[in-house]
Amino acid sequence: MKPKHQRLIFIIVGILCVSLSLSLVLTAMDDNIIFFYSPSEIAKAKQGEYVRVGGLVEENSIKKLPENKTKFTITDYKDSIVIEYQGILPNLFREGQGIIASGIKQDGDIFYAKELLAKHDENYMPPEVAKTLEKNKK
Amino acid sequence: MIPEIGSTLIISAMLTSILQSIPAKKNAHKFSFISMFIALASFLLLIYAFIASDFSVSSVYLNSHTAKPFIYKITGSWGNHEGSMLLLAILIIIYGNAFYVFSNSGKKFKERVLNIQGMLAAIFLAFIFFTSNPFERIEPTPKNGLGLNPLLQDIGLAIHPPLLYIGYIGFSIVYAFAINIMREKNPSKNWIALLKPWVVFSWSFLTIGILMGSWWAYRELGWGGYWFWDPVENSSLMPWLSATALLHAVIVGFKRDILKSWIILLSILTFCLSITGFFLVRSGIVTSVHAFASDPTRGIFILAILLGLIVVALTIYALKGNKFLSTKNLKFFSREGFITLNNMILLCLLGTVIIGTVYPIILQVLNIDNITVGPDYYNKTFNTISLILLFIAALVPSLKWKNNKLKDILNKNLIPLIISLSSILAIYYFTEIKNNITIISLFFSLWIIITLFYIFIARVKKSYSRDFIAMATAHIGVAILVLGITISSEWQQEKQLTMKKNQTIEINQFNIKFDGITLLAKDNYLAKKGNFSIYEKDFIANLSPELRYYPIQNKVTTEAAIYYSIFSNIYIAIGEDDSAGNYAVRVYYKPFINLIWCGAILMALGGFLSIKTKRKK
């Protein structure tokens, strides 16, 4: 076999590997894309979808409930949404902080968060949240 | 005064680096040496500014405070964007010098490599001087600084960037080498042997750097996790995958004198992925737990550098790359055949990570959608594809170079397979694993370990060679790493609850009693320390997780407490108390998680062992 032909075989095997991986990727990606919504957009999300919602924690909205639960409201200066979370709060969680909550969207006013994301720097605002705030300030 | 000297030194180092990159004079190594001293002096002045708490210097103001413990004042100098860029530039220069001193390449070749190194150093130093000067001043001088993020006040995190950078920047030499080997009219016959030590050294440090980052996250972030498929973590994994492919390609190339073009392309790719890593982390383009303060100008500058590197390298490859095309064939059923397959699989893995990381960025930049890729994507793609890699690693030690007979291979693997298979059946019978990937990972990992020990014990010829020991160490490291990941994921237990004083909970075979809270006051924080005692039948240990409040930054951190035993970790984190004085507690039982750290260390150790290559006879 000429080296040139073997190179061709390599390329074909390579393309095969890539195609198989791509098909894996496409199937996995479909099920695992998590959309981000601001409080004013969250109505767009489908019921039962696992989504992320982000905004600023509203002043005086944090309430501690029994069983390690916390209820608070986040806003994007246009709309707000009530979030309930069970578990230890992230360290940066406080009023005025940019927070992203992820969970399954259900009917009703409360968003039950499975995870809360807050970065470890008080100067940080998740870019998605910042963008929405900018848009709504105008 | 001192900061101005620091700035001047940066621009001087840039100038000497530019002089270093001029090919005509053949004294690149002298300029490289001078640049090193100038740049180091600059960095020492930066450290001095941090120690002296000179808050007229912007980066000191933003990242330090008089109350910060001394050692963290020092480590804070590289724990921020500007300081870390300076560290990167210094490493580029040091690697140039190291290459000149330690490499056995010809003098002319070394000069040319240093020309490229000089260009790289000059570009980085220009970037620093014009967009990220650590010595930038602020007026008027503040009384005190904004303090350092308490999460960064940890030894693990202080070492993690330098180790990682030693890994990343090592590939600058690999890149410079590749560029110049293409330009050589008559490349020396053993150029792969000359390249190999630099690939292996950099890979080993990259491995340790990533390990340290994971270990830090495990201890510090309070959730018992060590890898989150976070874009910043991915940006260190991507060059690592490419580097691993390169490492294996170089081994094959050294032995059989093939895959040379491939090695050159991988050399270019790995360094470019390192630079891409910087771009992702520092341009503000990703939401991440880790991302540095963002600045779009920096992002554009880095992107421009990246494009320049790619265009230059690929142009040279297009013009001059064909002298490396193989004249030999390889057979699939051989060691080199399977290692080539390993390279293809590694690139597929790289592809899945690139897609998962970049796809959301593209959607966001084009304002189409705002998405995150969930971790399960990686479980389905990366974890599945890596099973093939494990299979190859298990099979290859029994494969000879050039050619093999199926019967021989089956014979060699019979006993290891019997042992692994029976172990897996036993595990399956006693524990009922539901996840297929878990079973397969365990099987392949066991097979890898047993095969290597089997070869060693059966005293096969050459099994005591340094190369074999290095390979065995690294691959056993991989198997142990996979075992650690698989076992701790599959059998981990977690309990989240509120506990009152003297309450006990049970987790796996342990009983954990909450003995109450003590209050502490330290240098720069106040803490609520949770006192827990662990019992099995008898008392085993105390654990004291803390909830710390840093008044200067108005910031709270959780310090998890971990009990390390050989077979498992008990991991406890506490949260706030509720109105009744009960505390939120999170307890994890993590079986065999220490295998992860041990495995990674063995991998790096294997790397270090294989740096010195035997001369080919």
- Closest-CA residue to B567 (of B545, B539, B600, B536): B536
- Chain A nearest-CA distance from B469, in A, is 30
Q: Is the Cβ pair A123, B293 closer than 8 Å?
A: yes
Q: How far apart are CA B385 and CA B345, in angstroms?
A: 7
* Predicted pLDDT at A121: 47
B294 against B334, higher pLDDT: B334
User: Is the distance from CB of B494 to CB of B588 less than 8 angstroms?
Assistant: yes
Q: What is the pLDDT of residues B147-167, one digit of tens each?
A: 766 777 788 888 999 999 999
Q: What angle do CA B404, B340, B415 make, to 5 degrees?
A: 45
pLDDT at position B81, please? 86
Contacts of A14 in chain B (CB under 8 A): 344
- Give pLDDT < 70 ranges for chain A: 1, 119-131, 133, 137-138
Identify the residue whose tokens are 């899945």.
B352
Mean pLDDT along residues B203-229? 90
Q: What is the pLDDT of residues B383-419, one digit of tens each?
A: 999 999 999 999 999 998 988 889 989 988 999 999 9
- Residues contacting residue B308 through CB under 8 Å, at least 6 positions apart: none
Highest mean pLDDT among B285-299, B468-482, B559-573: B468-482
| A11 or B241, which is more confident | B241
Residue B491 scores a pLDDT above 80: yes
User: Between β-strands A98-104 and A80-86, what pairing exists: parallel, antiparallel or unpaired?
Assistant: unpaired
Question: Does the N-terminal peptide bond of residue B551 adopt cis geometry, omega within 30 degrees of 0?
Answer: no
Angle at B260 between CA B258 and CA B265, to 5 degrees: 140
pLDDT computed for residue B563 by the predictor = 92
Chain A residue at shortest CA distance from B331? A6
Which positions 46-75 of A are in contact with B (Cβ < 8 Å)? 50, 52, 64, 66-68
Tell me the per-residue pLDDT of B582-602, one tens digit each, with 9 for 90 and over: 888 999 999 999 999 999 999
Check residue B294 and give its pLDDT: 61
Q: Which DSSP helix (H) or strand (E) runs through B109?
A: helix B107-131
ipTM above 0.90, yes or no: no
Residue of B38, B52, B51 whose CA lies nearest to B86: B38
Which residue among B222, B376, B578 places its CB closest to the CB of A32?
B376
> How many Å lie between the alpha carbon of A80 and the closest alpha carbon of chain B?
19
State the pLDDT confidence band at B366, using cuts at 50, 70 and 90.
Answer: confident
More confident residue, B352 or B464: B352
Pair of tokens at residue B295: 């600045």
> Which chain A residue lies closest to B577 (C-alpha atoms)?
A68
Instruction: Give pLDDT, residue A100.
Output: 87
Contacts of B197 (CB under 8 A, 6+ apart): B102, B103, B611, B612, B613
Residue B581 confidence (pLDDT): 78
Contact A28 B380 (CB under 8 A): yes
The percent of residues in chain B predicted with pLDDT above 70, rounded, is: 96
* B100-146 pLDDT tens trace: 999 999 999 999 999 999 999 999 999 999 988 999 998 888 888 88
Q: Is the pLDDT of residue B571 over 80?
A: yes
Q: Is pLDDT above 80 for B616?
A: no
Mean pLDDT (chain B) is 89
pLDDT at B289 over 50: no
Q: Which helix (H) or strand (E) holds B87?
A: helix B81-102
Give the mean model confidence (pLDDT) for residues B75-88.
90
The sign of the dihedral angle between the CA atoms of B149, B153, B159, B162 is positive
Do the Cβ atoms of B575 and A88 come within 8 Å? yes
β-pairing, B561-564 vs B568-577, is: antiparallel
Taking a C-beta distance cutoff of 8 angstroms, is the pair B513, B136 a contact? Answer: no
Which backbone phi and psi does B520 adopt, to 5 degrees? -125, 150
Nearest CB among A6, A21, A124 relative to B348 is that of A21
CA-CA distance, B176 to B121, in Å (whole number)?
Answer: 12
Residue-level pLDDT at B322: 81
For A9, B199, B200, B326, the CA distances from B177, given in Å and listed in that order, are: 29, 11, 14, 19
